[in-house]
A and B are shown apart, each in its own frame.
Chain A
Amino acid sequence: MAGWGLSATGISASGMAAERRRMEVISNNIANASSTRSKDGQPYRRQFVVFSAEQDSLSLNEGALTGVKVEGVEQDTSPFNEVHMPGHPDADPETGMVKMPNVKLPNEMVDLITASRSYEANMKALTLFKEMVEQTLTLLRGR
């Protein structure tokens, strides 16, 4: 089976693992939507996962079915939101502005739904494959 890469179960499993990772990262963003402190002294920065198809230089007919790979978790470099809260311990002493994380809840919720639906799609593909295998196994049973 040269050039086949992963089996059908492996491909679907890689998709499910990737979507699950994405949901974890999104959950982390939501949980930290108002964390004004992190290790580097700045507010929390929104994170997102980067997927890659692991194709060999986008060329075809290596035909390699290698699933999807989580390339890494990157930080969103967009600017922080600023809120006027003079009493806040992290407020700027002159302006009274507090830097809040650049997490936008509606965007996170939409991403969460996308991830969950994609997970379901991979799950369906896996279920169908299972049914196909069962179909083959009934051949052995004899009728």
Chain B
Amino acid sequence: MNGIPSQYSLLGNALEFAQFRHGVISQNIANVNTPGFQAREAAFQQFLDLAQSGSGEIHTGEDFEVAKTEGLTNRADGNNVDLDSQYGDLKRNALMFQAFSQLLASKMDTMRRAMQG
């Protein structure tokens, strides 16, 4: 698919990925006091590969992958969630979501204007 419709679905996928990532980070924050819990992150690269593979259509949910975050130091209780970095990620992710959302809104606006003539 070319043109505006494919951009709709691409942006929609990006929004869905941002929402999924929000869930993963929320999970880390909810478990900040759970002994032995290891922080995880949504694999963005893998999402990017899927998006660039050209099919344009991603059946989200099953396709997103979660991996343990590398390079963190464990606390005494075996937990390695760093609240500050998680919160930073959360905020950045929300901004990404906002950006995608506004892009989508402007695309729709363009379309609406074209239809009105």
Residues of A with Cβ closer than 8 Å to B? 1-4, 6-8, 11-12, 14-15, 18-19, 22, 51-53, 55, 58, 60-61, 63, 65-68, 114-115, 117-118, 121-122, 124-126, 128-129, 131-132, 135-136, 138-139, 142-143
Question: How many B residues, CB 8 Å from partner?
Answer: 44
**A126, A129, A135, A136: which has the most chain B beta carbons within 10 Å?**
A135
In the complex the two chains form, is A129's CB within 8 Å of B31's CB?
no
Describe A's contact surface by its main secondary structure: helix
Query: Given the complex of chains A and B, what is the CA–CA distance between A118 and B24 in angstroms?
Result: 16
| B22-81 residues at the A interface, CB under 8 angstroms | 22-27, 29-38, 40, 60-62, 64-68
**Cβ-defined partner of B97 (8 Å) among A4, A118, A132:** A132
**Cβ-defined partner of A128 (8 Å) among B22, B24, B33, B65:** B22
**A19, A121, A143: which has the most chain B beta carbons within 10 Å?**
A121
CB neighbours of A117 from chain B (8 A): 83
In the complex the two chains form, is B30's CB within 8 Å of A12's CB?
yes
Query: Given the complex of chains A and B, what is the CA–CA distance between A132 and B26 in angstroms?
Result: 14
Q: A118-B33, A136-B15, A138-B105 are in contact. Are A125 and B62 (CB under 8 A)?
A: no
* Contact digits for B82-117, partner A, Cβ 8 Å, 1 yes 0 no: 010011001100100110011011001100100000
